[in-house]
Amino acid sequence: MTQSPSRVAIVTGAGRGIGAAVAARLSADGFAVGLLDLDADAVKQGAETLTAGGGRAVGVSLDVSDAEQVERAVARVADELGPPTVLINNAGITRDNLLFKMTDQDWDSVIGVHLRGSFLMTRAVQKHMTEQGWGRIVNLSSTSALGNRGQVNYSAAKAGLQGFTKTLAIELGKFGVTANAIAPGFIATDMTAATAERVGMDFEDFKKAAAEQIPVRRVGEPADIANLAAFLVSEGAGFISGQVIYVAGGPKD
């Protein structure tokens, strides 16, 4: 097995929620971590916390759908921490509405952040991975990829990320790079809290109702996703590539 020459990870959308939990876990596992997010203060603070805990980290603000900002952010992480060999494409937004009410902007911004953002980030980081002859890419899909009322934009983006992941696995495998997708079900974060608010429900009641539909009878926590991400970027996961793993407390098709 080839050892990674550079243990540097980039996590997008690391300002809060799942991204923040993944960044903290990878730092605890010994990776230097570039925390990237729209929210400059959140990632600055996140990086300071990881550094105070004995890790190496840098916070960089960017919009993942902007090619120039992506190139600049990846170059900064490479300069300050070393060449990135792990990429977690996690930044995400929702702009839910039924098809007949969905605006062009709702469509474009969701596709732009999830699909264009993951494409731009991966294109920028892959050159470091291929130079190092080792890499791990993890893309955040969703159970919504299987279809979800009110999310024609988001479900298309999350299904698109599954095809994106499989193609990355095929193209980059010979360079020692794997690509996999994690498809979470209900995870308690600001994103699901916003959904509760949109449907006029108290978040605790919303979570309780969701848990009743989930075989393990609880909703997910960001750590449930961080646990799998930590495994997928590990040395031992090197023969797993092009997979979509549902993390939803039960089976999904």
190 scored as a contact of ligand NAP (CB under 6 A): yes
186 scored as a contact of ligand NAP (CB under 6 A): yes
Least gap, CB of 187 to ligand NAP (angstroms): 4
| CA–CA separation, 110 and 98 (whole Å) | 14
Distance of CA 40 to the CA centre of its chain: 18
| CA–CA separation, 8 and 86 (whole Å) | 6
Please identify which of the residues 31, 134, 154, 164 carries the catalytic annotation: 154
Answer for the pair 48, 93: CB distance below 8 angstroms, yes or no.
Answer: no
76 scored as a contact of ligand NAP (CB under 6 A): no
Active site residue 154: yes
106 scored as a contact of ligand NAP (CB under 6 A): no
Nearest Cα to Cα of residue 32 among 84, 69, 76: 84
Q: Which C-beta is closer to ligand NAP: that of 6 or that of 94?
A: 94
Helix (H, G, I), strand (E, B) or coil at 26: helix
Sequence-distant (6+) residues with CB within 8 A of 101 are: none
Q: Which two tokens stand for residue 94?
A: 């929702």
Other Cβ atoms closer than 10 A to 163: 13
Answer for the pair 42, 115: CB distance below 8 angstroms, yes or no.
Answer: no
Span interacting with ligand NAP, options 61-69, 80-88, 127-135, 173-181, rule CB under 6 A: 61-69
Per CB under 6 A, contacts with ligand NAP among 144-173 are none
Q: Which C-beta is closer to ligand NAP: that of 64 or that of 74?
A: 64
Least gap, CB of 222 to ligand NAP (angstroms): 7
Span interacting with ligand NAP, options 128-136, 167-175, 186-194, 236-244, rule CB under 6 A: 186-194
The number of C-alpha atoms within 13 Å of 145 and in the hemisphere containing its C-beta is 27
Q: Which two tokens stand for residue 95?
A: 């702009």
Least gap, CB of 63 to ligand NAP (angstroms): 4
In the list 142, 151, 153, 165, the residue contacting ligand NAP (rule: CB under 6 A) is 142
**Where in the sequence numbering do the catalytic residues fall?**
154
Interface residues toward ligand NAP, by CB under 6 A: 12-13, 15-19, 37-39, 62-65, 90-93, 113, 117, 140, 142, 184, 186-187, 189-192
